[in-house]
Structure 1
Amino acid sequence: MKARTRLIVLLSSLGGAALLPAPAFAEPAASEAPLRGKAWQLADEGYKAYDKGDYAKAQARAEAAIRLRPNVAQLHLLLVYALQKQGKPAQAERAVAAANAAGVDSPALREARTALRAGAQGGTAPATQAFRTGFPFATQAYAAYNDGDYKAAAAAAEKAFAADPSQGAWALLWQDALAAQGDDKGALQAIERALAAGAPNQADLIARRQGLHRQMSVPSAQAGYQALIANRPADAIAPARRAVALAPDTASHRLLLITTLMLDEQLAEAETAASEALRQDSDDTVALLLRAYLRQRQGKTAQAEADFDSALGQDWLDDEQRHNVRLIAADAALAAGNGQRVQALLAALDGTDKAVRRRLDEAGRARAPRTALTLAGYPPPVQRCRDTPYGTACELLPADASGGSPAALAYAAYGRHDYQEAIAQARKALERDPGEQSQALLTTALAAGNRAQAREAAARLDAALNRQAGDAGLLMQRAYVNQRLGMPEQALHDIQAARATGKAPPLAILDEGYARAGAGDKRGAARTLMQAIDQADAGTLALDEEQRYNTRGAIAGFSREWGGYVSAGYRGARPASADFGGAAVSTPGDAVFGTAEVFWRPPIFLNTSNRTFELYGRLSSTIYDNGGKTKAQRLADPCGGTAAARADLGETHSRGISGVPTTVGALGLRFTPSNEVGLTFGLERQFLLGTATRSGMLVPADAAQRCALNRQNQSARYESDAGSGGWLTYVTYGIYEGSGMRLDVPSWFTVEGYVQGGYSLQDFAARYSLRDNATGSETASGSGRLRRDQAFASGEIRAGRSFRLDAIDERLILFPYVVLGADWLWQKNRASGTLGTASGSTELQGNGATWSVGAGPGVNLRYWFRQDRYNAPRSYLDWGVQYRAGLAGHSNRAKGLFMNLTLSY
């Protein structure tokens, strides 16, 4: 902040009278709590009167404010200056003495007293040789400063102070001249050099240093607000933290940090930020109320109530503010289901007030506490802020406050993600004030609305950029809108243009990386994000732990062009993972099924940050098969004999086939048009590689044909060559919430599952034969085609909570859950051709549809690995076990133990 011109030429060597320096009213001491309420109003009127030359009114307002806040040095200075300007030096000196008697002392008050006494004595203080050496330079410096030649002023003031470091005013002039040029770093260096040289006004210099830090904190705060406006609260956190670090006494910076953490759902961190704000200023009502809200959001009801009660105990609140605090506290009590506390809080208010009546009515209805409090269900209080001579001052209103300005209501609705309400309020704000801020508010709200509203926002941004070409903020905002409208190339162009101006926020490099991926340049995206990691390591880009991990995760995803997995499932269990798809339902039994796949994602074809296209090859086989068991039963005679002719068959056990003979190969492709929707389409060509997959028994569905085979004691078989196969097409819908690894919390809700449907067709040439069951010799042969049609649908949903096992390894995740699984399978198999003297087409036994549903508990253990400086873990080993009870359908298929072991690389 520029200081007022200080013409503090002490003409003691020439016998001139000393002058009081012009006051810097907007710079309260760091130890003083900000003025509030009536004291602030009186002080504000006093400062304005002083600036207008109405010194008598300034005196009266200062005296009234001192009666309310006698410990504030700035108020005493205002009184001293107002008296001096009225030609009342004796009264001014008595005012200094009264301040000292009240326990108030500061370098500025001591300087004022010295100057007043020097003026009364004729200013005859002797000058030292150092003063006489520096005085001509100081005279030049003051003259140059008054003429606006700040560069010359800074150079002369530096020489003056170097000649006589006891002249603290010259050090201040030196700093002022540098700050007036916008050279904040140089001004800070000047202050440090003055302090090191032993300047007598150390406290003033330290206060100036704090003021410069506050000024330097503004760009970081602006970057935070810009990210918040762009609906990216996570990106606003780092600049908000920087602003607080530079100016910890600026309440608006702390409010920004609390708000960004809250909107990013980092409630514990937001509570900590609110507590730190209260340690800085224990009277900060806004921080106290926000901490109470945050505690209630986390279920800390007792602590929240204590904070609300503390706020109600602040005696400087006026009636309107106390009314708002009671309503905000009542909202928290409603969220906790405490109707009695609501009634107690609102008893002191007018029961006919609409807002009060609504809360009392809700409290009167029996209700349970809300177990999951969200921004939408329990919105935060509305923030109403205004600019003052001390900076931005804010207060809180109830979330449903209708008395707030449309702009404040629009921001509150935007924070609750109620974008239609935000748009409606922003339009009202624009009607009241067509200024730039209202225009930007409406554009921001429209950008978060539906597609038509987003297009309106884009048109408004186009018009704004025509007026302000090259504005980095507008370019970044238009980039976000273009991304929403599905125009990633235009978004990338805007981000690059914004970064080229040198005024884009530092985190725009991340935006460029994601935009490159959206435009299809995933390799370039990975390189850009790697540069961000390099900058973070070099200390030139601030990334917190979560931002760094998310960036590394994005690099791992964008740079992946190939991968693979190996999976083994017991009793047909399948992993509910986005990496798996395309396998038809296998009928479970006491068997282990194995699958190995390798996939490739062409880097410049269809693959973007939101689309995935893969070519893959897969091998599947039965690793182990214990066979099947048939219960004892009475079989009907296929030749239509009487009941007496039926045969009793005891329990039998058939031996299963496993290993290489059961191998099936596949080459396929799959495409996910939108990773946000999670719908994948696949097509593959299958190859029956194992001998057991292309040979077997032919059992006719027709009873007469089975009767003929039985009478001849013969069985029909088929066999085809290794080139046999078929086609499979499928569609998979997946949902995967919380299935990755997280570092921000130790546990989190997880739900993952899939629904898949598909159709498989195998139609291949086959050789037929009849064999004598007694001798095994071939009695007849033929050829034809074997056709297998299969339609299938399967699904599985798992819901539970993931726990990071930090005591063992932070990359080890335990996921207990409940599972619901279902499947449906329809088959139609037919053999055609000739066999011996017979020819034609025959349907085979086993055709038709079956289905099953099962549910039960399960647990997964997953270990992530393959990470480095740039990449988050890219591979995992996952083991899962479930026990399901059959609920309906084919119970043997739905119930029992299911296990799966998967290595994804």
Structure 2
Amino acid sequence: MNRPLFTLLAAGLSLIPVLAVAETLPLPLTGPAYVAANEAYSAYERKDYDLAIAKAREALRQRADVTRLNTLIALAERDKQLRDQPRTAASGRAAAAAPGFVAANRGFKAYDREQFGLAAQSARTAIAQAPRRREYRLLLIDALQRQQQLEAADQAVTDALGTFANDNTLLLRRQAIRRQLAVPPAVQGYRALEQGNAVLAVTQARKAVAWAPEVAANQQLLISALLAAKDYPGAEQAASAALARDERKAAPWILRSYARDRQGKAQAAQTDVNRALALKGLSASEVRDIQLFAADAALARGEPQQALNQLQALGNDADDAIASRRATARAALRQKSKGLDSVVQAPPPALDCQESPFGLTCAIWPGTVRDAGTAPASQAYAALARKDPAAASALANQAVARAPQNPAYRRLLVSALTEQNRLPQAIAAASEGLQAHGDDARLLVMRGRLRQQVADEDGARDDFSRALALGSLPAYEEAGLYAAIGQRRTARERLQEARSNGELASASDLQLAYISVQAGDDESAHAAFRKADASHRLPPAAAQDAAYNAMRVHEDDEAVAYFERVIDGQKTAESPMSKQQLFDTRRAVGDISRTWGLTSTTSYRGNSSSGLSAAPNSTSSGSESNDLLQNSTELSWRPLGYRNARFVELYGRVTDTLWSKNSDSDTGADALQGALGVRIKPFSSVNIMAAFERTFPLGSSNVDGDWLVRLGYGSSIGTDLRVDVPSWWTSQLYAEVGHYINDSRDYFNSEWQVGRSYAIGGTGSRWVAFPHVVAAIDYDSKMKSNNSGGFESGDAGGIGVGNNVRYWFREDAYNAPRSYVDFSLQYRARIFGEERAKGVFARLTYSY
């Protein structure tokens, strides 16, 4: 769902991700909320304050995020009071003029029409007239940001802080804007560093740090650029500044250690290495890299024995980087024993960054960034970018074979295999990487996500827990992992921490939406999807994700609108859905938009219930045969909508016995009964339903009314129509227990059908046959005693075979078939209990 973001993070070479979320700007008003708000402003201008207040509150009800409407309400209430209290009108006349309001009103309307230039111009006018109106300042800032006039927006924030000192909202807004401003110079600085232009790299890096000094990648870039320029004192100073902000990252310690070493500060340099090694949450590969740094530094100081001591802890000559350094140290030691110079030139730690919409995601590597696997790895990244995962897999395998010590190549291989949908091989590659490098947080996360896809939930939870225990992932990523292991409260806390500490300051609205989905924060995801769609219309895949998110926050109309756009977009989509995926999307539209339902079931023998739509006839007695024909017709209504399959239904039902073999039984008008009730489906993913209803006589029936409590459970596979195959396996289980309160009567009935469905006429037909085997059990406490005073068991169970024929209809371009007619015929043999368990059973159902 959020593949662009998480594939980048998985494949990237990052020890220190630098993500930041763009400031959440108010969405322009649209639809009914816009109409109500516009009417509110117009009413205020006409001095119709009561209408202005009512319309503003209605707009707020639909769009609670548009807090500026509270200002309008306050002004309208104040001016209404001034109008209705003549004694204070004279003194309040000046206040009633509301300086700046007319211009601000024009600006807010322009913003809602996405005329951001006019909004900014109007906001400036309003501020000039009323400089202490904070909402006018925010309107100007928002309008400038919408136009990407970031430096002007930053100046507007600075001006506002001159009036509203230490205002937290303004301070956070300034931080977010400056993080955005830092991205272009950071990218330009890194490109200059790659091209060997150290002077330009330093200049651009200083600009990036000036805008956003708290962003770790900007600090790393500046230190690396200063090292490349051989300005070691400057690099040490820059590293110290980075550590003053955050000393929990290894990179600044290592970079400062190198800068100090170049200045002859050997003891201070070693202290920095030791501090880096003492950090909590380091992976085995990070510990390895730090020890390689230490070995390089010792070799550069002419201390080969110390280098060997550092390498001794690693103890793996199969690792090319370790073996080559060990050989160099031994050769230098032999030279030193002969009185010859043993100093080895060591390059500075290499900075490797990935450019992304977030800015830079950077890592430092021991020595030069190039190793034996660099060339094929670079080609593999390019192959992934051009959507050629097969070539990327082959090249990544080459990179791993040439440089097995580099964990980044393992992640690259896993990403390439995942893109090919070779999930078992990708899991195996991740496991090999973890075996080679120890617990690596990113490899653990990648393997956990893969295990989720193959339904290995226990394995996924284990991987995510191990990754979290390392403590080396950014807060926003930890939020997604906590959500995946069921700790949703902690997930939301970590996501809020990510927002507060600036990890998300440069993420786009769409990326924010996916991050929030991963963390289980559906409300934030919903707001981010809406913002992203307002800025740039979402493509079909993202619109579908937004639709499911809207479902989860109970915005049914919005979910339907997104789904319809997805369906419309299939005509021009580069990668259109399969026929079944498109059908499932249309099915979702039908399910969400349904508010009314009508079901009529006519059954011969046995119970006719399905989904709490009927109950045993309260007129039946223990002595009666079940050779009868009954009808149950029900009308239902969902007053609160679909609510992500956690709906409430009000229903009314009429039940009648049309014919009975027992001549003493009531039929027709004498057996007519009604019921009114409410049922609740409390869980989205579990088909449990509870109902409470009142039954009462209709027609000439003399049966007493009663209260009925019911609980039902259903589980099904393959009961919906398929349009991609001619046949498919189908299973459906239904069980219900109920209690008549006045009659002190209990009942239970269940039915389980298993078979294979066949599209009559071939794939895509709306006619379906379902031959199946059936098992049914029912119990009725009223059947324990008969009219002769005898005793019966009250239960009955049977097994048999049957066939259903169903015709689906009532569909359109956006809705899958919403209605069907179904005829079922079964024969069952009794396996225990009473004789009513055997014989022929038939049922005709019409569902609208």
Q: Output the TM-score relative to the length of structure 2.
A: 0.46
Q: Which has the higher helix share?
A: 2
Greater RCO, 1 or 2 (C-alpha within 8 Å, sep 6+): 2
Q: From the CA coordinates, give the structure whose radius of gyration is larger.
A: 1
